[in-house]
Amino acid sequence: MQKRITIFDTVRGFTMISMAGFHACYDLAYLYGWDMPWFTQTVFQDVWRASISWVFLFIAGWMCTLSRNNIKRAAKYALAALVVWLATTLVSVDDSVNFGIIYCMAACTGIVALTDPVLKKITARWGMPLCLVLFALTWSIPKTIYSVPHLAWLGFPSPGFVSGDYYPIIPFIFMYLAGYFAAHIAQSIDKTVPSWAYANPLPALASLGRHALPFYLLHQPIILGILELVYSVR
């Protein structure tokens, strides 16, 4: 059995904690009316959000080079995205999540699974920087409203489109592919994984990272439940 590369679990676990903190601040500011100008009126919110989602996508792209079945991974993400959409649509706490981060991971994983033979023909040392440049160049595409309907999933939202968490294929597939090509660069430099990548100095974070998807699905209901409980007894 192949030994698990723990460093990815640890980074994911840390990012999960950061995500929970971000959503707690979001809930307090926008749902409970807390005065948090450092969060709502500065660029800090965008930087914090990016530090979470970009890490998720980059690691997911890297990990797909190690997966035995990326179609299965894509289907698992797609099912989770459907659960999130149903839950946020039926429980009207905030805007429903249409084409959120889990949808993006499902779509990107599926695309890479289907195009892997073609992607492997691209020199990884060129592919990674090219994807980062394309990510920057296409960043503003989904921030515009387009008159063409039904393309929000791709990155072209139409008038009336609303989502509480929006990560379309463009531009985020390029961050995913940057992770994919980074993995191939690392694998071409050294065919063996360095011993430090297997080290587990923070087992709690690594364990959380191994269960990232269930944590993602459950953390927001738990946070909202705690906040409701606190406010109900005040």
In this structure, the dihedral spanned by the alpha carbons of residues 41, 136, 21 and 38, taken in order and rounded to 10 degrees, is: -20
Query: In angstroms, what CA-CA distances link 100 with 80, 107, 164, 223?
Result: 11, 11, 8, 19
The full set of domain ranges for the chain reads 6-232
Mean pLDDT value of segment 214-221: 94
Query: In angstroms, what CA-CA distances link 194 with 70, 120, 190?
Result: 24, 23, 8
Tens-place pLDDT, residues 71-114: 999 999 999 999 999 998 888 777 889 999 999 999 999 999 99
Residue 94 DSSP code? S
75: amino acid identity, one letter: A
The pTM of this model reads 0.93
The sign of the dihedral angle between the CA atoms of 95, 98, 99, 100 is positive
Residue 114 DSSP code? H
pLDDT tier at 190 (50, 70, 90 boundaries)?
confident
C-alpha–C-alpha distance, residues 172 and 33, integer Å: 31
